[in-house]
Structure 1
């Protein structure tokens, strides 16, 4: 098996025996205590399985495996002890969610069988998560891409928001990042039900009538209802639903913490993107957000102020012809037909399907050149 296993024990003789007896069956690493074990996990990980002694100086097995669970939740955890300590065993199971509890002396056959089961459990968990993530992300990207074809300007902002929200969540130490990234990407999906003339007024900074404002401010609810139909995206739906809530709004106190901070990040990111799209500088946009701190979480705005150079703005802007356009580039401005009809919005990545769509427009309607892209 290629998956790595870490043994943590202050008994050097036991560690030597494990290396000697299990060599060739598993890829092993060892550590003489909990603190060293955490360093090995950080420097040599990921590990499929961690086996820890219960009684160790400085950091016992219960505390160590609880830390492993927190830092590396996919790693399968086994407890090994020479004492029939029922209280310790219960504590270990409750805090560290132990996969199996083994007692010393443990026969080679029993240890091999337990490690094999633990590795299979790790492979099952990681394979299921990878399949879920791949399927979810693929479905979501397809949805957003289809919507962006229907109205490039209305939906392409999701591509810009996705990256900004992800960086803000990372700056604030939030996880999992995919939750916030997906929320940013699909944040405008509810706009599919909003009349285009209202969306155009919002983009151009024109005032809305009370009726128009009511319609427009309903799109987060519509989007959340659509996204909530997708399994595992309930938190994403909650983030989308709260994107127009002011910071500290009691209407959001019933939501879980991830949804509240996610909605606050999304709200600030959307306003920042709107201001930047209208031609404001980074400093001007941040200054305006700071002046409205009753509406925006100050910690989020502070994190946003540190995003002075986004990755797309750091890349070179090229003016090219259609024949030079390749997947992986990002539109630096709207790509339009020769008569000015938007096809692809600013900030949208050029993928193979997008390139094929542009090819069709080039044949039948023509595309305005040069095309400005980030590359």
Structure 2
């Protein structure tokens, strides 16, 4: 499938010429003017390349391509003008909104050379981003799988937090959800440094001593220090570092950290035995702790049980995608998996191994996704 190229101009004849000359080589689309161009970028994208005229009514090409950059950062942008305006060219390049600058009438062979280079640039950007996303997710998944072995309760907590946080992030339309996803997955990794007896007291709702609380409060900084040596994880490290800060203490707090703060506190209250409604009543009394927009969205997300049905399922019948609605313990009181754990294939394989060596209950209550 060909990558799409969008031409934007205020003269229909020029657009028709581009379409006729280039349609066999590229997937060509056109827009008459910048307003139609932005609408198409939003509704018909993503476009690999957008070629725009400089001189257009209501909105010039520099402003238009800057808006394209905001709406579709990966799209490669080319400026076309009938005026050899060096000052405009410099402005466009310096603003980062333009990859190439051509004067018109531009010979078709020159346009083809420019589009070919632009398409290679787009492929490079997209492939690098996908590689980065896959590499980071794979590395983080390995860390969280290790956490599940060492501390199933902390792992289950991170799974619950991730589902809540990702709902809020999507509802608030965060541009890049990857950072929030990774931070949610990693927010409990530092718990491997917290003594087991402290975590047991915390997750059972017991009050910690001041010394125990101080030890537990260090776990975000432990995680951040572990991430410090991983390339491109600076933002994730920053999110986790500030995940327990009250909003009034840091109004410039990253949105992802605000979401984590609210999600973590909600989970604390629910795990201590409070129902959903009471948990949010408590959170509403904590003046200045939360971003109100985040809290409102989180409350909607926590109230949603649609998409799942509760079932008691035999251990041998569990499938990927199901979520434990109760913690799973062996009959000799070994904690196998925490409430909220989403069952993946590695998790089910681990469960099979436990079934060979531990006396487990015949079934467990789970949330089953509705197809």
Contact 2:204–2:271 (CA<8 Å) still a contact in 1? Answer: no
Contact 1:220–1:243 (CA<8 Å) still a contact in 2? Answer: yes
Rounded Cα–Cα distance in structure 2 between residues aligned with 1:232 and 1:24 = 40
Rounded Cα–Cα distance in structure 2 between residues aligned with 1:235 and 1:214 = 25
Deviations 1:197-235 (A, max 9, x none): 001111122122221111111111111111222211111
In the TM superposition, residue 314 of structure 1 has moved relative to its aligned partner by 4.5
In the TM superposition, residue 151 of structure 1 has moved relative to its aligned partner by 1.3
Moved more, 230-239 or 44-53: 230-239
Moved more, 121-130 or 221-230: 221-230
Deviations 1:290-343 (A, max 9, x none): 1112333333222222224345x6410110111211112111111222223211
Moved more, 204-213 or 129-138: 204-213
Structure-2 residue corresponding to 1:325:
318
Contact 2:324–2:341 (CA<8 Å) still a contact in 1? Answer: yes
Matched, 1:121 2:121: yes
Structure-1 residue corresponding to 2:260:
266
Rounded Cα–Cα distance in structure 1 between residues aligned with 2:23 and 2:307 = 49
Structure-2 residue corresponding to 1:188:
188
SS of residue matched to 1:184: helix
Rounded Cα–Cα distance in structure 2 between residues aligned with 1:358 and 1:212 = 32
Structure-1 residue corresponding to 2:84:
84
Moved more, 194-203 or 340-349: 340-349
Gaps (5+ residues) in structure 1?
none
SS of residue matched to 2:187: coil
In the TM superposition, residue 162 of structure 1 has moved relative to its aligned partner by 1.0
What is the correspondence of 1:132-281 to structure 2 with a 5 Å cutoff? 132-249=132-249, 252=250, 257=252, 260-281=254-275
Contact 1:159–1:347 (CA<8 Å) still a contact in 2? Answer: yes
Matched, 1:306 2:314: no
- Runs of 4+ in structure 1 deviating by more than 4 angstroms, as ranges, are none
Moved more, 218-227 or 299-308: 299-308
Task: Give the number of aligned pairs.
Answer: 368
Rounded Cα–Cα distance in structure 1 between residues aligned with 2:237 and 2:96 = 30
Contact 1:224–1:241 (CA<8 Å) still a contact in 2? Answer: yes
Partner residue of 2:332 out of 335, 339, 347: 339
Rounded Cα–Cα distance in structure 1 between residues aligned with 2:331 and 2:179 = 39
In the TM superposition, residue 174 of structure 1 has moved relative to its aligned partner by 2.7
Gaps (5+ residues) in structure 2?
none
Moved more, 292-301 or 160-169: 292-301
SS of residue matched to 2:301: coil
Residues 43 and 215 of structure 1: CA distance in aligned 2, closer, same or farther (over 3 Å): same
Q: Give the TM-score, by structure 1 length.
A: 0.94
